[in-house]
Amino acid sequence: MSDDRRTWFGAYLARLRRATDRSQRQLAERLCALSGLDSVTRHEISRWERGARVPDAWLPVLAQALGVAVGELERAAAYARGERDTVPGGPSASLAE
């Protein structure tokens, strides 16, 4: 997995979170409430947003919490893992957005 791709994915998640006006802690609480699990913390959200981890198992609930289609997050995660050659949103999408 390329560091640039993971960094892009993390920044993408952070943009989506900020668009919902939630802090990392608030997003973690929302994910726990939606999933019925208490295993996501603000620290885990931070790891995702730094590109340290791709939250594959959490993508469906994360999509629900962020108000985006799960397919959108799945495509972004596939890009981060190196399974796609183009940035989701088309080849003109910038890694630095």
Task: Look at phi and psi of residue 3 and say left if phi exceeds 0, alpha if psi is from -120 to 50, else beta.
Answer: alpha
Share of the chain above pLDDT 70, in %: 86
Render pLDDT for 60-89 as a digit per residue (tens, 0 to 9).
Answer: 999 999 999 999 999 999 999 988 777 666
CATH number of 3-80, picked from 3.40.50.2300, 3.10.129.10, 3.30.565.10, 1.10.260.40: 1.10.260.40
Q: Measuring CA to CA, how many Å separate 69 from each of 3, 22, 62?
A: 25, 18, 10
Using the predicted structure, report yes or no on whether residue 91 has a pLDDT greater than 90. no
Instruction: Show me where the domains of the chain are located.
Output: 3-80
Residue with tokens 């997050």: 73
Enter the DSSP assignment of 69.
Answer: -
CA dihedral 46, 72, 60, 58 (to 10 degrees): -30
Q: What is the reported pTM?
A: 0.85
Render pLDDT for 2-30 as a digit per residue (tens, 0 to 9).
Answer: 689 999 999 999 999 999 999 999 999 99
| Mean model confidence pLDDT for the chain | 89
